[in-house]
């Protein structure tokens, strides 16, 4: 987990520097580039777990990360900083499309298999959602971070990806072993344990962005990563390695997840800010999710 988190942090730092070198608009830095960087553990988890035939680990870690990022991570940063404003329209759009992604995944999982077509459709849906969000939230360019050594940054990004891949592989094997020792399903361990570990990069990057007063970058990473988890993270593994999802999420888990995403989306959309009240509600939603252990 240490290797995974350190590698993700370096990957993100230098990815942002590259974005500034290449004049990528700030909305895309948080929503696309940084969220892909911090979500790389979930993406690698999807690919590796699917290749090992462990579809429940893929789905469990992916949808668990959606919940962790929109409740636990958002709650922590809300209680750690003074309130900051968010773009209501942007937050609402990302939240609604995250719900659409979860509903698509739920529909594809009804037969217990995620096919190559299902994975491809989830990935394409992310691209479609991003294009719409980009149109809705179009802004003038203003790069939040700088960087001049494009070649050096690119090398560090590649090395960071390698570190993330190795770290994720180790985490997946550990999840399987923990599940075996305690006789708990891989999905439960992935949903409640691995999802926290793979969400550490989002927490670290978001806290760093807020300390630098880059609120758009911070909220873009948290919500953008959740959108990625609901679409690309679930779909990319099965696109390469179609797999069964045995012992996957229950109906109660899906309903609670959709409920949590909807509440957080509406809360931020109506209030237009992240403050202590938002933090308390988000943490409450996360802690209440542990009641699902008694329904699984």
Superfamily covering domain 2-137+147-294: NCX, central ion-binding region (1.20.1420.30)
- The reported pLDDT for the residue numbered 250 is 78
pLDDT averaged over consecutive 10-residue blocks of the chain (296 residues)?
A: 77 72 67 79 87 86 90 91 85 93 89 87 93 73 56 82 79 77 78 75 77 78 91 93 78 90 94 92 92 72
* Per-residue confidence (pLDDT) for residue 229, from 0 to 100: 92
Structural domain boundaries in the chain: 2-137+147-294
Q: Output the pLDDT for position 139.
A: 57
What string of H, E and C letters represents the secondary structure of the chain?
A: CHHHHHHHHHHHHHHHHHHHHCCCCHHHHHHHHHHHHHCHHHHHHHHHHHHCCCHHHHHHHHHHHHHHHHHHHHHHHHHHCCCEECCHHHHHHHHHHHHHHHHHHHHHHHHCEECHHHHHHHHHHHHHHHHHHHHHCCCCCCCCCCCCCHHHHHHHHHHHHHHHHHHHHHHHHHHHHHHHHHCCCHHHHHHHHHHHHHCHHHHHHHHHHHHCCCHHHHHHHHHHHHHHHHHHHHHHHHHHCCEECCCCCCHHHHHHHHHHHHHHHHHHHHHCEECHHHHHHHHHHHHHHHHHHHCC
The pLDDT assigned to 188 comes to: 78
Judge if pTM exceeds 0.85.
no
């Amino acid at each position: 987990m240490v290797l995974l988190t350190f590698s993700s942090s370096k990957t993100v730092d230098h990815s942002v520097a590259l974005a500034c070198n290449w004049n990528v608009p700030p909305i895309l830095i948080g929503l696309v580039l940084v969220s892909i960087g911090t979500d790389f553990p979930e993406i690698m988890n999807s690919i590796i777990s699917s290749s090992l035939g462990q579809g429940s680990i893929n789905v469990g870690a992916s949808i668990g990360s959606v919940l962790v990022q929109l409740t636990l991570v958002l709650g922590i940063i809300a209680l750690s900083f003074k309130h900051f404003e968010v773009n209501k329209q942007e937050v609402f759009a990302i939240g609604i499309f995250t719900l659409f992604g979860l509903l698509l995944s739920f529909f594809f999982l009804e037969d217990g298999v995620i096919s190559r077509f299902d994975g491809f459709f989830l990935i394409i849906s992310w691209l479609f959602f991003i294009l719409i969000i980009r149109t809705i939230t179009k802004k003038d360019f203003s790069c939040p971070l700088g960087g001049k050594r494009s070649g050096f940054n690119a090398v560090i990004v590649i090395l960071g990806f390698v570190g993330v891949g190795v770290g994720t592989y180790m985490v997946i094997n550990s999840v399987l072993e923990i599940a075996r020792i305690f006789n708990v399903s891989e999905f439960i361990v992935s949903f409640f344990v691995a999802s926290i570990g793979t969400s550490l990069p989002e927490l670290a990057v978001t806290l760093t962005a807020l300390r630098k007063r880059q609120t758009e970058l911070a909220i873009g990473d948290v919500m953008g990563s959740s959108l990625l988890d609901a679409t690309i993270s679930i779909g990319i593994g099965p696109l390469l390695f179609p797999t069964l999802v045995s012992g996957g999420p229950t109906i109660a888990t899906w309903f609670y997840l959709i409920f949590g995403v909807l509440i957080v989306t509406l809360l931020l959309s109506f209030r237009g800010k992240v403050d202590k009240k938002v933090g308390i509600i988000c943490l409450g939603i996360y802690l209440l999710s542990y009641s699902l252990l008694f329904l699984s």
